[in-house]
Structure 1
Amino acid sequence: MQEKAKQIVVDYFNARVDKTDKKKITVDDVYVVWFCKTLQNWKALLSTNVPDNMYYELTYNGDKHETYVDAYRKWENVRVADK
């Protein structure tokens, strides 16, 4: 499942990368940040070693045998201290 998720991110990235960047990635460039499986469904958060601040949320619907990809760009990381 995690290897499938990585390959989906590779395919997604390589299909959309700006051709002038001359950059293609492989599964070795993708890492899983978080993964959870419940019954026939799973969800994974992934990122790549490409410095583009993107991360990917993949949701697999086991009933329909479909995977949904949400691609996000990290906007900022803010520290919030406990009061």
Structure 2
Amino acid sequence: MPNDTFLDLCKDIVVKYFNEHHDKTDAKGTEITKDDVFVVWSCKALQNNKALVSTTVSDGMYYEITHNGDKNETYVDAYKKWENFCVK
């Protein structure tokens, strides 16, 4: 899959997932659009694509999306960031 097509698919997937699963009692309380989704990192190797995606909503969620070109399947992992700390 061409990288631009894959990244557009990633944004569509995250918008659909967020709008179906977000906490309806959150202050924002509205649905997001593709303009609220951004790609943190992406890579294409041979026929496979992978991207880390997030949104402008400060809910701590991020999404890992992988497209398997051999099987023409796309897999989504949705994560919530629990904590960020420094170890020296």
Q: TM-score range by the shorter chain?
A: 0.7 to 0.9
**1:68 is the counterpart of 2:75:** yes
Task: Give TM-score scaled by structure 2 length.
Answer: 0.83
Match of 2:9 among 4, 17, 22: 4
Distance 1:12 1:50 in 2: 13
**1:30 is the counterpart of 2:37:** yes
Deviations 1:27-58 (A, max 9, x none): 10000011011011111001001111000000
Task: Give TM-score scaled by structure 1 length.
Answer: 0.88
Aligned to 1:78: 85
Structure 1: tracts of 5 or more residues without a match: none
Structure 2: tracts of 5 or more residues without a match: 1-5
Distance 1:78 1:17 in 2: 26
| Pairs within 5 Å for 1:14-53 | 14-21=19-26, 22-53=29-60
- What SS does structure 1 have at the residue aligned with 2:79? strand
| Paired residues of 1:55 and 1:73 also in contact (CA < 8 A) | yes
Q: How many residues align?
A: 81
The percent of aligned pairs where both chains have the same amino acid is 64
